[in-house]
Structure 1
Amino acid sequence: MNSQSNMSKEGIDCIEKYVSNLAIGIQASSDEIKDFKNEMKANLLGSVDDLLSQGYEEINAVELAIKDNLENEIV
C-alpha cells in the first residue's frame, strides 16, 4: 500500500488500533476477521491519503477518516 509511505508509524498504528478495536467481538472465522481488518485498514489509509493530498496534517487526516467511518457505521 503506497499510502503507508506517506504516513508516520504513529498514524498507521492509530489506524491499526482502531481497526483492531472494531474487530473485537465479531463472530466470524479468523480468515474473515483478517479480511475485514485488511479491508478496513486499506479503506482508512486511502481516506487518509486523500485528505493528505488535500493539504490536511496527518493527525487531522487520521481523525477525520476515523470520524467519517464511525458516522457511516452508525447510519
Structure 2
Amino acid sequence: MAIKGCARLFDGIKYLRGETERKCAERYSLKRHGQSLQMRRSQVHLHHAVQVLHRRMRLRQVQEVRHRATPECSA
C-alpha cells in the first residue's frame, strides 16, 4: 500500500507541473539535441577532410591524422 501511495503522490507532482515548466523542459531538450547535431556535423566534416587527405597522402599518414583528431571530437 505504501508503494502505491508514493506512486500516486509522484503522479500528482507530475500533474501539478505548470505549462511553463513543461515548455522550459522541451526547450532544454531541444537545445541539447541541437548541440549533439552540431557535434555530429563536426564529425562529418572531419571525416570528409580525412577523405580529401586520403587522396593526396598515403594511408598510413591519413590514419595518423585521424588518430590525432579524435580527442577533439569527443571533447
CA radius of gyration, larger in: 2
**TM-score under structure 1 length normalisation:** 0.41
| Higher RCO (CA < 8 A, seq sep 6+) | 1
> Is the helix fraction higher in 1 or 2?
2
**TM-score under structure 2 length normalisation:** 0.41
